[in-house]
Structure 1
Amino acid sequence: MAFPEAKPEAMNSSLVHAIGWFDGRFGYNVHTRNFFDNLSKLIPVAASPLFGLDGPWQEDRAVLTALTKLSPRATIALLYGDMMDILDGAPGKRIAYTVWESTEFPAGWLDKLKRADEIWIPTAWGRSVLIDNGVSASQVRIMPEGVDPDVFNPEIEPTNALAAYEGFKFLNVGRFETRKGTELLIKSFDAEFGPDDAVRLVLSCDNHHDPDFDIGRILRGMRLQRPDRIVVIPPVRSHARFAELYRACNAFVSPFRAEGWGLPICEAMACALPVIATDYSGPTEFMDDSAYRVTYKLVPIEDNYYRSAANVGGCWAEPCAQHLRKLMREVYEDREEAAKRGRAGSRQILGNFTWMDAARKAMEVLSS
């Protein structure tokens, strides 16, 4: 457990105890590292990394509890909701910081979230879902995510990994699953663009939850008209490398069914890519008029994997495939307007949704 040197702008000498998954390349990992790293520039942060479900948080808590001068102002757990009993007995204000996608929270999550003093969630949409699920409005605060502007910005040099692929490049980044709308995107792209269109769909998609995941087998099973238009990028191990991938493409597209935040969408906007995304859930927190918003209808969640993994039902969006195709065609045909909107989106993200913006918001809440 390390205590960073307090910065001059720190509001006082108290600290925050942070519990979460700091190591890794997925959403919660990126969120945890960046949020607490920037918060530590404003107030000392004692970090308790979790490795799977284990970590030194119990030992760290014992130290913080025993030494009055180190007693934290707050203990913040950035975790799945069903793990929030980790806050029971924690010193300082007990804050459960979580992310969710469905219109229904699992009962096991709700019971443990309600035991915290405050619940933080990244978006107004997520807050409304919590309230609709019976959580007191006074208990829920909006605490956004963000981007690192030094890594994700329009000046990043693009990767040369795509140099051999000519034509306009749409990009999708994220887990290959029903919730992300990956198959819908691939089929819509294949149906929309004909033999005379110089266009590619670049996929940086895998599914670490499925040990048998084989994207080549999945693509062959779709019987696409033009499978040669699909470019598959192997898993990117360093998160910062995504910026180079964004900058090597011309547009980002994500017909997701539900997102708690939508980090790749936010990062793509920061890198000045025009973004086509479903006009629903988490990304509506940061998508402004620069985004190309796909219409949708709400439908019950019937995906067996999601329902069984989350032990919950609820609803999510069903993006309109025809509107998705129309918007992809619009971006492909009117590239000047698309690039203009991409630049506007970058200004929106870099001006309002950096990790330091999130850290400052957290300090406001912690000081109130």
Structure 2
Amino acid sequence: MTQPSGILWIGPIGDMGGYGNVSRNYLRALKHIDLPVLLLSSAKINKEIGEEDIELLNSFLKSKKPLGDNPILVIHGTPESFIGIGKEGFHKTIGITLFETNRIPLHWANFCNDMDEIWVPTRFNYQTFTESGVDPSKVHVVHYPIESSQYTKQFDSYPFPAEVKSYKFIYTLAFDYRKGLDLLIPSYCNEFTAEDDVSLILKIYVPGWISQKNLFELVSSYIPNKPNNPHIHFMIENTPREDLLRLYSSCDCYVSTERACGWGMPQMEVMAMGKPAISINWSGVTEYMNDRNSFLIEPENELEFVHPELQRTRAIHYYRHKWAKVNEDNVRKVMREAFENHKKREELSLQAKQDIRNHFSPQVIAEQMKARLFF
């Protein structure tokens, strides 16, 4: 076994989004591997990631240990980020990425094959990447880690407005057609009424390609035009990390109707808290969510083409791609069960908390990483 001398890690380490969150969790795993690590990122550290994550990054950024003469290059991001970076002088080059639909964008295969290894978080992506032209010998499943202790401490209650009901479903998302609000909102509204003691909390990050006004118009169009709709509470303001965790802790059940989900860090986080989570039983979430630890929405046996707007506006990534086809009745049935079946919520939540702690801790994922870093 050859000993690598260090790691150059390139990725969005300080970003508030999913890639940044995953990068920092991988760095937590690297704390359990005795190698010097140099971090490079084009983005500044967003203060909203929270003090704990900022301290983690600073502990790496302050390190001045040389990488030595046998370093490994790791690039975390979309495969477009794998190109334009000099790969000479590295014993091994590793790209870490994922994709959500039934295949990867056509131009990604060459970018991936230019690396020595591609790490994907799920067996679902092992299949989609290799079936899309990436050399199977290069693709390896390395799970995303999570530090459970961040989520099991006591959190103050979140200060909801008075109209928010006792039982709270929550969904956090950066708006995208992939996220399935057009499925969740009518399913929720048609299953519950204003008489039910339930609210749907939608924490929506507004991306740059849509205005806040247009977003509200679009999302409002998903609400059925009928009397007695149940309560929905929209949140669009930026939320610091600690407040986001308070929000999760103060809600009763996480629900996602993302038709194609690469991994699902929010689901994993609430599961680590010991709270129930709902997801569609397809794509990346199947790596850690099952019928023993989660409420699962069963998709239809056939896939469907992704939303026409994605095919039109982001054709290079989504043209003719497919994702899970989901019947609204299945969403309604699962949400009703999660609302009414207290015993099942407790059983699933306890198992989820154990599964996340036992199988996805930084220490466990460090061993997966070691198997690929030491050669």
Normalized against structure 2, the TM-score is what?
0.84
Aligned-residue RMSD, C-alpha: 2.4
Q: Deviations over 1:251-298 (max 9, x none)?
A: 111111101111111111111121111000001001132211111131
1:294 is aligned to 2:297: yes
Question: In the TM superposition, what is the alpha-carbon distance from 1:149 to its structure 2 partner?
Answer: 1.4
- Within 2, Cα distance between the matches of 1:304 and 1:218? 13
Shift of 1:228: 6.4
Match of 2:314 among 295, 302, 309: 309
Q: C-alpha separation between the residues in 1 aligned to 2:168 and 2:136?
A: 43
Alpha-carbon distance between aligned partners in 2 of 1:300 and 1:13, rounded to the nearest angstrom: 44
Residue of structure 2 in register with 1:61 after alignment? none
State the 1:163 CA deviation: 6.7
CA drift at 1:168: 0.8
Partner of 1:190: 189
Separation in 2, partners of 1:25, 1:128: 29
Task: Decide which of 14, 21, 41 is 2:5's aligned counterpart.
Answer: 14
2:79 matched residue in structure 1: 81
| 1:294-327 per-position Cα deviation (integer Å, ceiling 9, x unaligned) | 1113112243235532513321112221011011
Q: Which residue of 2 aligns with 1:209?
A: 208
Match of 2:218 in 1: 218
Residues in 2 aligned to 1:182 and 1:294: alpha-carbon distance in whole angstroms = 15
Post-superposition Cα deviations, 1:219-271, rounded to whole Å, max 9, x if no partner, equal 44344445660112234443343222111011111111101111111111111
For residue 44 of structure 1, the aligned residue among 10, 33, 36 is 36
Unaligned runs of 5+ in 2: 45-64
Query: Would you say the 8 A contact 2:36–2:67 is kept in 1?
Result: no
- State the Cα distance separating 1:145 from its structure 2 match: 1.0
Tell whether the 8 Å contact from 1:158 to 1:246 is kept in structure 2 after alignment.
Answer: no
1:1-368 aligned at under 5 Å gives the runs 14-42=5-33, 43-51=35-43, 70-90=68-88, 91-153=90-152, 155-162=153-160, 164=162, 165-214=164-213, 215-224=215-224, 225=226, 226=228, 229-288=231-290, 289-297=292-300, 298-305=303-310, 308-309=313-314, 311=316, 312=318, 313-368=320-375
Matched residue count = 343
Change beyond 3 A, Cα 1:159–1:116: same
Going from structure 1 to structure 2, the CA distance change for 1:271 and 1:257 (only over 3 Å counts) comes to same
Provide the secondary structure at the position in 2 that maps to 1:89: coil
Q: CA deviation at 1:126?
A: 0.4
Distance 2:330 2:203 in 1: 23
- Write the distance in 2 (CA, Å) between the matches of 1:119 and 1:310: 24
Deviation of 1:29 after TM superposition, in Å, equals: 1.0
Deviations 1:332-353 (A, max 9, x none): 1112321221121111111111
Amino acid at match of 1:103: N
* Worse-matched range after superposition: 307-316 or 89-98: 307-316
Q: Is the 2:126–2:140 contact (alpha carbons within 8 Å) kept by the matching residues of 1?
A: yes
Segments of 5+ residues of structure 1 without an aligned counterpart are 1-10, 53-66
* AA matched with 2:295: Y
Using the TM superposition, name which of 135-144 and 347-356 deviates more.
347-356
Work out the percentage of aligned pairs sharing the same amino acid. Answer: 23
